[in-house]
Structure 1
Amino acid sequence: MQRRLFLRSGSASAVALALAACGGGGGGSAASDLATGVDNASTGIVGASTARRSVDGPNSYPFGSRLDPYVAGILPSAAAGQMDSVIRSSYDAWKARAIVDVPTVPGGKAVKFGNSGTYLTVSEGMGYGMLITVLMAGHDAEARAIFDGLLATVRARPAYSIPDVGRWLLDWRLTIDGSSTDAAGGGWNAMDGDLDIAMALLMADRQWGSTGAWNYKQEAIETINAMKAWNMKENGTTKGMATPHVSRTSDYMTGHFRAFKRATGDALWDRAIDRSYELIDRMQTVFSPNCGLMPDFIIHTDTDNPIPSPGGYGDFVDTEGYYYANAQRNPWRWGTDYVTSGDTRWRDVCNKLVGFVQGDTGGEASRISAGYHLDGYAMDRSYSPEGMIGPMLCGAMVDPRFQAFLDNLWNWNAGNFTTDYYDSELQLIPMIVASGNWWNP
């Protein structure tokens, strides 16, 4: 059902120009950040902040405050204030490129989909934008207004082809003027976008409360329940692709599932965590025993013998059985879950994957391939793929043995931030996580 256009990132010089053009506080960012303390991550221990300043304004969790220390894992060795400065500049550059008005939705905003002259946005981008803006409140005084503009577009463009619950899901691709058409998204949803949208709504409830123009908490619960009805099986397996036995590994957002369980009390989301681990453990153990890799898509999830997709089932491309443009997001999701939940299953999954990549590259982020076959064959080393390198940051947070690799990954991402769609979001959000600035609703 869903095809994506993946863009190669721009040059480092172009990124530097974009950062310079934004200045230090573009986008109306009047509020200063909190640079409260985090213990030196080089010790391998993430510590709680010992000194906090009071915060004026409506943001309950302003960027830089680190109110919830991580329960496990490590951080880069860079100072917290230094990391925050990099993220602020990167966010300002991202915002200047990414956030656009939607001509057909009053007050609507969107995250621009690359340089396409045909499509304005896709649902994954909308989810990324909502996560980023709720996290950057306290730096950007416009964060809530942007978030609400994105939400206005989400609700104005429902997945109209999905019966009963489609109004709580997002049509996965919009035309250049922000309209829904059968030739664009067709009124179908993409689970990854709706997962991030629901998570961002729960975070917005914590950040701003739900008594204003939007009841963020109720909007989140409606979307969570709609995904349960359309995108999930009772045993916790994700579905909703063109073929129901197909499952995309980057939809296994286990940290989100924990938040959905807390918000709804529904045990389905516990089963979703268990089932995600069961499928990924099988992919690593049976199909990538020496590398710990996993494919973009798994098929035959309705049998006792799920296998990597041979291609043509999920995004309808030949690369579905490789660690590639979808699965590259997995270390971000699972590393984030481990450092905030302490669930050692996801530490172990990341250990296998990151251990292979560290060995394959000699610990040099710039040598990470644009993709890998499950036997470890590097698909393309002709450039340094920002969207592959960014998520690896979070995977390397799970174990002190990756400290040097984590530092290399942080330094590379900090010095090579792109503003190209997809790559930029896959750098910016993992950088926020790696700096200790992620938090759960």
Structure 2
Amino acid sequence: MKNLLLFSIAFLCLESYSQKQSFPASTVYSYGIMAGTKNSQDAVTNYQLWKSNFVEKCNNARYRVKFDTPSETVSEGIGYGMLLAVYATDKELFDGFWLYYKDNVNSNGVMNWKINGCSGTHSPNGATDAELDVAFALIVADFQWGSTGSINYKNDAKSLITTIKLHEIEANTFVLKPGDQFGGSQITNPSYFSPAYYRAFGAFTNDVSFWNSVAAKSYTIINNNLTVNNAVGGLVSDWCTAAGTYSSEAGIYKYDGKTYNYDAVRTPWRIAVDYVWYGTADAKTYVKKSSDFVRVNLGGTSNIKDGYSQDGSLVGQWHNATFVGAFACAAMGGDNQIHLNESYTDLKNLNEPNSYFNQTLKTLYTFLLTGNFYLPSNATLSNDNFDIEKSTVTLFPNPSADRITVNAPERSTIYVISASGSIIHQQKSTSETTEINLANQASGVYFVKIANDDFKSITKKVILN
């Protein structure tokens, strides 16, 4: 009896959570194209390699990401790590990164951007791209595991989003500051702009107008920068003013922040997310410019090098995953399937496992390219009068052997239609996630139609094998 009692107490003390999405997810996005050469196992393999080479366990269940100098950790790396861990459903690692982040915050509540190993500030104050990635990763964690355990991901996400709004968005202008202690209209970093996250932040915190304004300002600055500097394709500069001109405050950065280099290179990836999740027209325009620069101006992905002036002239010399992968993500909105296929294969074949930046970004890019960087349903608006045409609708896995999960606004009507046009399944969703069992159906192509009460609809193709 004593042993049974001890077992019962231990069982009750265990943290209980359910996981909504497996890894790999292999989501088919609502917009854009996906590489015919993609394979979600590539995401798994790259994640395992990245984790093996760059993750170190500290005391008290904390984890850190080793930087270029392995004895150091930067907040950017923790942000990247949290994104990868949550999509890879690696809860222990995710929680450890978040605890490490919180151990190393400044008085504004953002992580000091460089830390000596497991503890001790090397360089103080925040870098905004880290906060954006961490806040969004917390939203995904709330979707994945809920917020009733030892960490309340939902409350932590909302708190960090509020902190970003207060300290890393310039007052009255909606310009993203590059840090909590500097920047704004006089100097900003386009590669930090994450309009897809902003839309999710707005839905998650019921602050849509503010965050949509931040997203709109991001595109205004990008377009200003391309226009005033006569840029080719989507070659934004590493740093600029809100007017798009080169910043007099960027003298400490390589080439005075005037080139498309190791900051700016991340811009196509971040903007591609806004396109494949939301179908944003400005995102589509930008990523197509970026993709066409490679396909037309350079003659293909194999000719990419690591740095360009905004006029397209070469300043770099290396062909690496950081640049190839970002342009591959842009190709998801570039309308050229062959080019996307070639870009994906080029990225896959680049092996730089000991380079922090190249391997980390390669893994993130591969997650997006293979459908493993999805928009969770808790970051979309859901109400009785939802506009289905503006909603984010995803289904996975696709192809599927028997079951599919549909992420769509609550109270949607979901139809599964055969290739001959017969409705073989129909139901009204009671939550934003609906699982449909198609095990009794023959292999082949089917169509999933999601409709609102105004009879407007979105239709997705699914393959049963």
TM-score by length of 1: 0.77
Match of 1:285 in 2: 227
Instruction: Report the Cα offset of residue 323 of structure 1.
Output: 0.7
Residue 308 of structure 1 pairs with residue 240 of structure 2: no
Q: Distance in 1 between matches of 2:291 and 2:25?
A: 29
- Three-state SS of the structure 2 residue aligned to 1:60 is coil
Q: Distance in 1 between matches of 2:188 and 2:231?
A: 21
Residue 217 of structure 1 pairs with residue 158 of structure 2: no
Kindly indicate which of the two structures has a greater share of residues assigned to strand. 2
Match of 2:79 in 1: 127
Find the partner of 1:108 among 38, 62, 78.
62
Match of 2:48 in 1: 92
Task: Mark the CA change 1:95 to 1:292 in structure 2 (over 3 Å): closer, same or farther.
Answer: closer
Q: Distance in 2 between matches of 1:145 and 1:278?
A: 40
Q: Distance in 2 between matches of 1:378 and 1:221?
A: 42
User: What is the correspondence of 1:47-196 to structure 2 with a 5 Å cutoff?
Assistant: 58-66=18-26, 69-78=28-37, 83-103=39-59, 106-117=60-71, 119=72, 121-137=73-89, 143-160=90-107, 166-167=108-109, 169-180=110-121, 184-186=122-124, 188-196=125-133
Q: Distance in 1 between matches of 2:216 and 2:244?
A: 15
- Three-state SS of the structure 1 residue aligned to 2:68 is coil
| Structure 2 unaligned spans of 5+ | 1-16, 377-465
Instruction: Report the Cα offset of residue 417 of structure 1.
Output: 3.4
Task: Mark the CA change 1:291 to 1:439 in structure 2 (over 3 Å): closer, same or farther.
Answer: closer
Q: Does the 8 Å contact 1:311/1:320 carry over to 2?
A: no
Q: Does the 8 Å contact 1:235/1:268 carry over to 2?
A: no
Q: Does the 8 Å contact 1:310/1:321 carry over to 2?
A: no
User: What is the correspondence of 1:263-274 to structure 2 with a 5 Å cutoff?
Assistant: 263-266=204-207, 267-274=209-216
Q: Does the 8 Å contact 1:311/1:321 carry over to 2?
A: no
Q: Distance in 2 between matches of 1:439 and 1:291?
A: 27
After superposition, the C-alpha distances for 1:149-190 in whole angstroms (9 at most, x for unaligned) are 001101111123xxxxx22x111110134222xxx122x010
- Three-state SS of the structure 1 residue aligned to 2:175 is coil
Aligned residues: 354
Task: Answer with 88-97 or 409-418: which moved more.
Answer: 409-418
Letter in 2 for 1:94: W
TM-score by length of 2: 0.73
Q: Does the 8 Å contact 2:352/2:359 carry over to 1?
A: yes
Letter in 2 for 1:342: G
Match of 2:295 in 1: 358
Tell me: higher relative CO, structure 1 or 2? Use CA pairs within 8 A at least 6 residues apart: 1
Match of 1:331 in 2: 268
| Structure 1 unaligned spans of 5+ | 1-56, 138-142, 161-165
User: What is the correspondence of 1:11-22 to structure 2 with a 5 Å cutoff?
Assistant: none
Q: Distance in 2 between matches of 1:336 and 1:430?
A: 10
Question: Rg: which structure is higher?
Answer: 2
Q: Does the 8 Å contact 2:228/2:244 carry over to 1?
A: no
Question: Over aligned residues, Cα RMSD in angstroms?
Answer: 1.8
Task: Mark the CA change 1:310 to 1:417 in structure 2 (over 3 Å): closer, same or farther.
Answer: farther
Task: Mark the CA change 1:418 to 1:295 in structure 2 (over 3 Å): closer, same or farther.
Answer: same
Task: Mark the CA change 1:243 to 1:66 in structure 2 (over 3 Å): closer, same or farther.
Answer: closer
Instruction: Report the Cα offset of residue 295 of structure 1.
Output: 0.6
Instruction: Report the Cα offset of residue 356 of structure 1.
Output: 1.3
Instruction: Report the Cα offset of residue 319 of structure 1.
Output: 4.2
Instruction: Report the Cα offset of residue 374 of structure 1.
Output: 0.5
Q: Does the 8 Å contact 1:311/1:317 carry over to 2?
A: no
Residue 376 of structure 1 pairs with residue 336 of structure 2: no
After superposition, the C-alpha distances for 1:200-232 in whole angstroms (9 at most, x for unaligned) are 000000011111110001111111110111110
Match of 1:242 in 2: 182
After TM superposition, where is structure 1 displaced by more than 4 Å over at least 4 residues in a row? none
Q: Does the 8 Å contact 1:90/1:428 carry over to 2?
A: yes
Q: Distance in 1 between matches of 2:307 and 2:30?
A: 31
Q: Distance in 2 between matches of 1:127 and 1:99?
A: 13
Task: Mark the CA change 1:409 to 1:212 in structure 2 (over 3 Å): closer, same or farther.
Answer: same
Match of 1:422 in 2: 357
Residue 409 of structure 1 pairs with residue 343 of structure 2: yes
